[in-house]
Amino acid sequence: MGARVAGSVALVTGGNRGIGEAFVQQLLEGGAAKVYCGARTVADVPQALLDAGAVPVHLDVTDTASVAKAAATCDDATVIVNNAGLHGRDRLVLAADPDMARQEMEVNYFGPLNMIRAFAPVLAANGGGAIVNVLSVAGAFPTAFMGGYSPAKSAAMFLSIIARAELEPQGTSVTALVVGSVETRMSDHVVGAKEAPRDIAIAGLKAMERGERVADTDRMAMEARAKYALDPVRWERGVAKVLHSTAPPSTGR
């Protein structure tokens, strides 16, 4: 079993908006004893979260010094939600910004790795606890116009599985969440049905409490993963078709 929400001390990276903000809200509503809201700029933490009891913490997951300081400050943590992410909306080889893939890897892969390395001893000292990595369907299979984002989230999936195996002796569970399209600023360019961040947070925390290794958080994630598993070649040909018939969206988060 993973950690319980009630009575936990949680830290959510990128907790000032979107899915991260929803995780902070749900943890507080679920009876967490304390919830740290990690943000690169603490002034960006919504007043509503502060009023609800969230504790703002300056945290840049790509900066090991910042992560180390957070680990020292939040030394009572029992749950870590690695939510901070970056989507550059670019291609990979034919990228408009050739540096974007590196930035996406820094945030989406090395960021969670930095956090897990720094907080593993903290969680061990506090009884084991749990780590939740907020990933994406784009990390489960190659996705058009997510050139650097898709490989970075895929790497984070393997990170989750390996970290779980390494940390199992200290009683720390690691859950990777496969998330579909969600109504956030990151997906404001996406047309079609989107999930509410709150629903993703609810599903993710339930998966954590059950101690799941990999969990789909929504219908799109489940259906897309099933479709790819049934015919990966057809899916990959579809990616190529979309890439060569559609103009790429503008770069930006």
Per the domain annotation, does 234 fall within a domain? yes
Within a domain: residue 3? no
Cα separation, 134 vs 201, in Å, equals: 10
Cβ contacts of residue 18 below 8 Å, gap of 6+? 182, 184, 185, 186, 197
With beta carbons less than 8 A apart as the criterion, state whether 115 and 59 touch.
no
What is the token pair recorded at 155?
């790497």
pLDDT at 25: 98
Residue 108 DSSP label: I
**227 lies in a domain?**
yes
Is residue 36 within 8 A of residue 53, CB to CB? The reply is: no
Identify the pLDDT of residue 190.
55
Please report the pLDDT score of residue 184 as a whole number: 66
* The pTM of the whole model exceeds 0.85: yes
Specify if 80 maps to a domain. yes
Q: What's the 3-state SS for 45-80?
A: CCHHHHHHCCEEEECCCCCHHHHHHHHHHCCCCCEE
- The answer to whether residue 51 sits within a structural domain is yes
CATH code, domain carrying 232: 3.40.50.720
Return the active site residues. 149, 153
Helix 64-73 to helix 111-125 angle, to the nearest 10 degrees? 20
pLDDT at 234 (0 to 100)? 85
Residue 253 forms part of a structural domain: no
Q: In total, how many domains does the chain have?
A: 1
| 46 Cβ contact partners less than 8 Å away, ≥ 6 residues apart | 16, 17, 21
**pLDDT for position 189:** 57
Report how far apart, in Å, the C-alpha atoms of 61 and of each of 5, 107, 246 are: 23, 7, 33
Report the C-alpha gap between 144 and 90 in whole angstroms. Answer: 9
Q: How far is Cα of residue 228 from the mean position of the Cα atoms in its chain? A: 21
Which pLDDT tens digits describe the chain residue by residue (253 residues)?
789 999 999 999 999 999 999 999 999 999 999 999 999 999 999 999 999 999 999 999 999 999 999 999 999 999 999 999 999 989 899 889 999 999 999 999 999 999 999 999 999 999 999 999 999 999 998 887 788 999 999 999 999 999 999 999 999 999 999 998 877 656 555 556 778 999 999 999 999 999 999 999 999 999 989 988 988 888 788 877 777 776 554 433 3
Q: Which domain holds residue 38?
A: 9-245
Q: Whose structure tokens read 């969206």?
A: 249
Number of C-beta neighbours around residue 42 at 10 A:
15
Q: Find tokens 């961040």 and name the residue.
A: 197
Residue 232 DSSP SS3: helix
In a domain, residue 2? The reply is no
Domain for residue 109, yes or no?
Answer: yes
How large is the angle between the packed helices 232-245 and 219-230, nearest 10 degrees? 110
